[in-house]
A and B are shown apart, each in its own frame.
Chain A
């Protein structure tokens, strides 16, 4: 009677890829809730459309590639991409924008490269950038946060939101407006003080604009929970937030008219926290070693600031992440950890014959 032959180790920790993805999904909940509260049904519709599209696309591609659909769909990676994309897209954007972005994410950015684990770029960010470039008008219209809605106006209900998203009906006046980052971009010549005083966006919020700052706080909390659960290490987020802080401190310029905004405002507006804890921590497309991830994060933080301050887009997380993805293999090459018993680090491309390295 033969016994099963299995190579060592014989035991495994309970952690599984499915479970990691589930935890990431759970950790986005606080952020998603705050966003829905602040910006209405559009957020949930985005999530819904994007998840549906991603799952269907993933299943179809797996079928075409003759892969077991249950196993691969069961790893939840498509859902994670879908949720991140849904959270990043502006609420009440037409459905076809969401669908286009989702299909691009899964089909082009993920499956064409070989599926989970093989994609050099963050799928959600690829989808986002594609629609941002293709449909700039739709993509730069943001819903006004709830506390700033004009008297007597409220966010459309589920039905009306559906009509706006699917049937293209035009939302009533006053429920869309500029984002804090837009304001900074388009208020050249005003002192930061003046911007803060002149716009109601900053009325009830001291730092980064009502609505956004709370959403960012919520993503920060979710991210810290993941950090605590050791889903990722601190290196990426600290690198990114650190360099973003540093840059905004360097160029803060005491709030003069040319100042691109305070460090706090940069940390808590736009997709800063979502990016730091949910997007650049995507392990597949980031650098590999801890040191590498620190550098990778810092690079992205730097790029975000540069594009926000001097580029032509108000927010820049998606572009910065894609550029970071580009740089990741290069960073990897120079950041191999020092192996036990070796006096020096080595470069990944070093040849066995270079004995001195």
Chain B
């Protein structure tokens, strides 16, 4: 037995998993239309490569990666592209994003695709590219592009690959069922990833011990491999990336760092399965296992759902009753978000559609004052003090919020879950995080603007003083001439005159050496371009791995560098013209 570490806090909400596990994974009748969102979970939009009216085949790529965090999109069935326009999708923001609508033709005909059964002989970068082109993004909910995670640059190395099969949220059983039915394929997927990572030293599958069947299935297929199946105690949120890393290895991910910084990579088990399908079978990510559950549905079951199928279609299939339904949740009850309408498509990250009845989740009573009972602090897996965070969030005390490590809150909701006063703590934290980030971005922008303003002021002042000098010197020269004329004596050399002369000389040198000026500008330009490249590199790094505020900061730096290059180029062009 492997030694396991215990995380602080955690809660044990009723798991409600049994009801959706009475049947095997079901198939969904082909819907008439499929809506395929082009944006990734990180709001980068893929570029549509088809046009309205085009005929597409199942598995055909219909949108390309553009920008590091976008994800390729494939037609999940054959048919015609009938519209490309913004639609509302299953996303916490509830906003609409560009989507491709496909009207299916019922043939469900696959496109010819390339399979890689001998993936062992493919270079890691090539493997990553295959995975990227298959449109694979983290399927546990975050939706981070997997290829970006797997493409490790030279200096970093991975010694532990962690496969997250904890599925600690109540109600959701998609991973559990996937493992039970398709463990062999999952293990192959792990092997593909091993090749992409050039064989990490350890491969651990973390799975909560409330899934004995899945554990058995995995263990059977892992015999004779280096993969270790590690059952972990059932406690929400053991499936949080940081928590799972600690439970399995006893290491803490430093604040704001990524697993790769401590030599680890975490992947969701459904993602592993998708990678197997993509590489070995040549099937891009066009479907996922989604749990449809909750008492407002007569049938609670897992389905293999085509990405883009509308929630409406799925609910109908399961005898959904609108009257009974108190709210509609995508994801689990702890971290999931509510939908305002059923007319949204399933995305790559939709683990579960939870249609709960009024008895199951009655409307909550209004929050009462915080009595500082500390129950929230007891369950916080990050060892924060939620009650203090709440207090400072209400007071909008950004300094104290950060001193209390607001940004280490993983928004797991354990604190709100236990709060006897029913305070929506997480909502307050999200709001405060947003406020702080906006304030920071504004600050960076303001300081940039101030810099620009100040340098302009200095420039103007310089020009003014030069003019002044010229005027003065002209006046003096004429005065002197006058004097000379009158007295017939050469003028007295005053110190003021010296200064004027020196100034004039400077102006002259400037005037007479456009070459020098050009050379200088060219040097500046090169330096600026280097800085720009560096800034781009850094931004790419943080986009991949950094926190949101780092990203904002680097974006601002990049903007500054761009402006500098532009300006230098303009000035250079002017000089060349002269």
Contact = CB atoms under 8 A, between A and B. Distances in A.
B420 A20 contact: yes
Contact of A11 (B8, B13, B402, B405): B13
Nearest to A19: B420
Interface in B392-438: 398-400, 402-405, 408, 411, 413-414, 416-422, 424, 426-427, 430
B419 A12 contact: yes
Interface in B286-328: 322, 325-328
Contacts of A77: 371
B139 to A, nearest CB: 19
Given A1-B341, A336-B385, A10 B361 contact: yes
A7 B327 CA distance: 11
B22 to A, nearest CB: 22
Contacts of A346: 403, 405
Given A3-B339, A348-B403, A20 B373 contact: yes
Contacts of B383: 337-340
Contacts of A351: 399, 403
Nearest to A343: B254
A182 interface: no
B242 A340 contact: yes
B40 interface: no
Contact of B370 (A11, A13, A117): A117
Interface stretch (A54-62, A281-289, A305-313): A281-289
Nearest to A10: B333
A77 B371 CA distance: 10
A9 B327 CA distance: 13
B387 A11 contact: no
B528 to A, nearest CB: 29
A350 interface: yes
A118 B372 CA distance: 9
Interface in B369-385: 369-375, 377-378, 381-385
A296 to B, nearest CB: 12
A356 interface: no
Given A3-B328, A117-B370, A12 B422 contact: yes
Contact of A4 (B363, B375, B384, B405): B363
A347 to B, nearest CB: 7
Interface in A5-48: 5-13, 15-17, 19-20
Interface size class of A (residues with CB under 8 A): 35 or more
Contacts of A16: 420-422
Query: Which DSSP category, helix, strand, loop or mixed, fits chain A's interface?
Result: loop
B405 A342 contact: yes
17 contacts: A1-B322, A3-B340, A7-B338, A7-B424, A7-B430, A8-B426, A11-B333, A17-B421, A19-B420, A283-B371, A289-B374, A337-B377, A338-B383, A340-B242, A341-B382, A343-B254, A352-B399
Interface in A299-357: 332, 336-343, 346-352
Nearest to A350: B403
A232 B257 CA distance: 35
B488 interface: no
A283 B374 CA distance: 7
Contacts of A69: none
Contacts of B424: 7
A349 B403 contact: yes
A350 B404 CA distance: 9
Give the 8 A-B CB pairs with smallest separation, nearest first.
Answer: A9-B413, A117-B369, A341-B255, A10-B333, A7-B427, A352-B402, A340-B382, A339-B405
B170 interface: yes
A263 B265 CA distance: 56
Given A341-B254, A341-B408, A6 B338 contact: yes
B252 interface: yes
A3 B338 contact: yes
A162 interface: no
Contacts of B370: 117
A171 interface: no
A151 interface: no
A339 B414 CA distance: 16
B219 interface: no
A15 B11 CA distance: 13
